[in-house]
Structure 1
Amino acid sequence: MTVTTLHFAGVTLDIYSAISWWDMLTHSMSGFGIAALTVLTHRDAVSKYGSAWWVVPTIVAIGAGFEVYEFVFKAFWHEWTLQEYIVDTVVDLGMNTVGGTVVASAVSGYLTAADRPRLDSAPPNHAD
């Protein structure tokens, strides 16, 4: 919801051209949100493999698909040159990846912390 609001506010209020970092904010939040949803909806894979790093290439693939869509339906950016599209695409994919990496790092850190034995817990009893 936040990403949709950021995007449509950016387009309708012309914020994308007024604030240079608006696009980077929107794409990093998009990568973060999609990565979080992906991890939450595929919790079995996260617990089975003990890692969430597979979400980063997933975010890159989803972001690349969106960038193709954006290029094909570029009527709203018709004045851009091919070089401007390429730079925008690289920055967008980079920011998507940053958002996805934040989620993967947080989940991996949580899994590592949850797997550590607590200092106040009793050692397991192997007498059985």
Structure 2
Amino acid sequence: MKDHWRRVRAQPLAIQIIWAALAVEFLAALWERQWPLAGVAAITGALTLAPIYLSSRVGLRLPTAFLVGITLFIFATIFLGEAFDFYNRYWWWDVVLHGGSALGFGMLGFLFAFMLFEGDRFAAPAWALALIGFTIAVTIGALWEIFEFGMDQIFGLNMQKSGLVDTMGDLIVDVIGASIGALAGFAWLKGRQLGGFTGVFGDFVARNRRWFRKHRD
């Protein structure tokens, strides 16, 4: 537990700022007796702590870029999106979040597949690992759309907004984001650069050598 809280305190400034904003909003909501807003702030804060806690439990060390990206995504999705209605205020909010999450899941899917081979770059073709990463990301996106449909049908919510058009638009953005994430993994294995994305793979492998014992730089 002490090690967990040490890792929490050592997080980058961007994450610390988000936590501070959530704490201030939580206390302000309690003062004004806005219980739903206080609840959303508390839940958002707990979810941003989850990746740090879970990664430490399984012995993974996530790169700073991953942690910042996950924290920003949770903050933007739940707190800004739902509590402050950014989804309805800004038409592009949902598009950006879907694209960003799909890109991240594409990269994580690639790393997961690479981890199964313990980092052996010759155990499977680079394109096959990229395809697995792409498939994982698109599958997660499709499952989320099913979740939105179920929530709308069961609880009468409006998560799908315009229905079929919203769903198909989200899936298209998911495919684009997943393609970029998987392509970044392919480029990294081939020793090429794809913007700033490829550096994240090397950082992840370097931090988690015991999961990639067969990897050779």
Following superposition, the deviation at residue 12 of structure 1 comes to: 1.0
**In the alignment, which residue of structure 2 is the partner of 1:50?**
126
Tell me whether 1:64 sits opposite 2:142 in the alignment.
yes
Whole-Å Cα distance in 2 between the matches of residues 33 and 106 of structure 1?
Answer: 11
1:77 partner amino acid: N
- The CA RMSD measured in Å over matched residues stands at 2.2
Whole-Å Cα distance in 1 between the matches of residues 132 and 95 of structure 2?
Answer: 23
Q: Deviations over 1:68-119 (max 9, x none)?
A: 1111102331895xxx2111111111111111111111122222236xxxxx
Matched ranges for 1:9-28 at <5 A: 9-28=80-99
* Deviation >4 Å, runs of 4+: none
Matched-pair identity in % = 25
**In the alignment, which residue of structure 2 is the partner of 1:108?**
186
Whole-Å Cα distance in 2 between the matches of residues 67 and 37 of structure 1?
Answer: 20
Matched ranges for 1:76-87 at <5 A: 76-77=157-158, 80=161, 84-87=162-165
Whole-Å Cα distance in 1 between the matches of residues 149 and 170 of structure 2?
Answer: 13
Larger relative contact order (CA 8 Å, sep ≥ 6)? 1
Aligned with residue 101 of structure 2, among 25, 30, 34 = 30
SS in 2 for 1:25: helix
1:11 partner amino acid: E
**In the alignment, which residue of structure 2 is the partner of 1:120?**
none
Q: Aligned residue pairs: how many?
A: 111
- From the CA coordinates, give the structure whose radius of gyration is larger: 1
Q: What is the TM-score when the length of structure 1 is the normalising length?
A: 0.75
Following superposition, the deviation at residue 58 of structure 1 comes to: 2.4
